[in-house]
Structure 1
Amino acid sequence: MGIIEDSLARAAANTATRPIPKTAGAQMRFLVRQAKGSTRTVAERLGVTQRTVERYVKGQLRRPRKDFAARLEQEVRKDWQPRVQGRAKKRAATSGGIVIETRARFGFTAAPGSTDDGRMRRVTQHLPPSYAARLFDAQAAGATEQQLRAIAAEGLQEIYFKDRGRRAEGLRVDFTDIDYLELDF
């Protein structure tokens, strides 16, 4: 996964209304329930043996290694409260929009004589619902990180740098070297 796709997943997970199960056994039982009782599917998803999954479900194993615990929690967050996540995405795509906070290198292509050298900027900007919908649709269609980055760059270009078309006509923004990126909806 790329930076933008990871940020979209984190933002969706942050919309949960209840905390995820605390113990490794409860998390494993949740994943097995989601897989309709298939411990083999959960084992493949987590990269462990089927027997390991069964031992966590039965309570024979209780304390996973740190790397496995993080992977287990990440997989639970993906499936936790899908309807709540879906409603939050729908609300962001239709009425609420999405907030993007990033520190990245922004370069410009503009009229001669302007400064087009890229430089690191920290930008926090609310993007309208149309850009949120485009990001969600592209993610669902399996878009690459570069395509998602292009949608985010276009949104920042139009809303932040061009001020919704009130200035900098003909400006094109390059969005590269992302230091961090956080999305919220």
Structure 2
Amino acid sequence: MPDRIGDSLDQALESAFTRRIPQSAQAQMKYLVKQLKGTKAAAQTLGVSQRTVERYVAGKLKRPRRDLRDRIEREVKKRWQPQIRAKAKKRAASTDGLVVTTRARFGFTAAPGTTDDARIRDITQALPPRWADRLFEARDSGANEQQLQRIAAEGLAEMYFRNNNTRAGGLSVEFTDVEHIRIVL
């Protein structure tokens, strides 16, 4: 299970795919070359030589080492079924929202005398569309993991700890030491 919010958002979108990504290294490399419009761009993206890309496309190389295989797969998934990915984002951000399941350390800051020490909690909480929209917008604009955690913490604070802002007004939630997080659309 991913321990990063960005990775979990990517996996949530991948669950919307209607077809599997290409399976062989050759097919994946051909797809990347087509998407990136050339072997040179594919080589730069993957951090390998242009000749290596050409060998995979030609079928002369078939089994990439683990780190290269993971990079190829990650780059293919980033570009796979962009319209399906966009529809899933739009649906989550406008009607469905998302569900966050996490095990992390949560601490609180509230009015004087009402603090709670941070402790590990297991939480599964549905977040409304506005939080899905904020997370995807931040991810698409290049937000780092810490910024995504801040947005997730605000959403969990509002929906879980403050019960959709009907109690514990002013409660601020710290979300740290994420052991795992999973986001489902």
**Structure 1 length-normalised TM:** 0.94
Partner of 1:48: helix, strand, or coil? coil
Deviations 1:82-133 (A, max 9, x none): 1100100000000010111111100011234445100000111110000111
| Equivalent position of 1:6 in the other structure | 7
Shift of 1:8: 1.3
Partner of 1:174: helix, strand, or coil? strand
| Equivalent position of 1:116 in the other structure | 116
| Equivalent position of 1:87 in the other structure | 87
Partner of 2:117: helix, strand, or coil? coil
Partner of 1:19: helix, strand, or coil? coil
Q: What pairs up with 1:101-140 in 2 under 5 angstroms?
A: 101-140=101-140
| Equivalent position of 2:155 in the other structure | 155
Partner of 2:180: helix, strand, or coil? strand
* Farther off after superposition, 58-67 or 2-11: 2-11
The one-letter amino acid paired with 2:50 is Q
In the alignment, the residues of structure 2 paired with residue 75 and residue 162 of structure 1 have an alpha-carbon distance, to the nearest angstrom, of: 39
| Equivalent position of 1:42 in the other structure | 42
| Equivalent position of 2:17 in the other structure | 16
Partner of 2:55: helix, strand, or coil? helix
| Equivalent position of 1:28 in the other structure | 29
Task: State the Cα RMSD in Å.
Answer: 1.4
The one-letter amino acid paired with 1:56 is Y
Shift of 1:145: 2.2
Return 5+ residue gaps in structure 1 as ranges: none
Q: Does 1:63 align with 2:63?
A: yes
Q: Does 1:99 align with 2:99?
A: yes
The one-letter amino acid paired with 1:17 is T
Q: How many residues align?
A: 183
Over the matched positions of the two proteins, sequence identity in percent amounts to 56
In the alignment, the residues of structure 2 paired with residue 119 and residue 39 of structure 1 have an alpha-carbon distance, to the nearest angstrom, of: 50
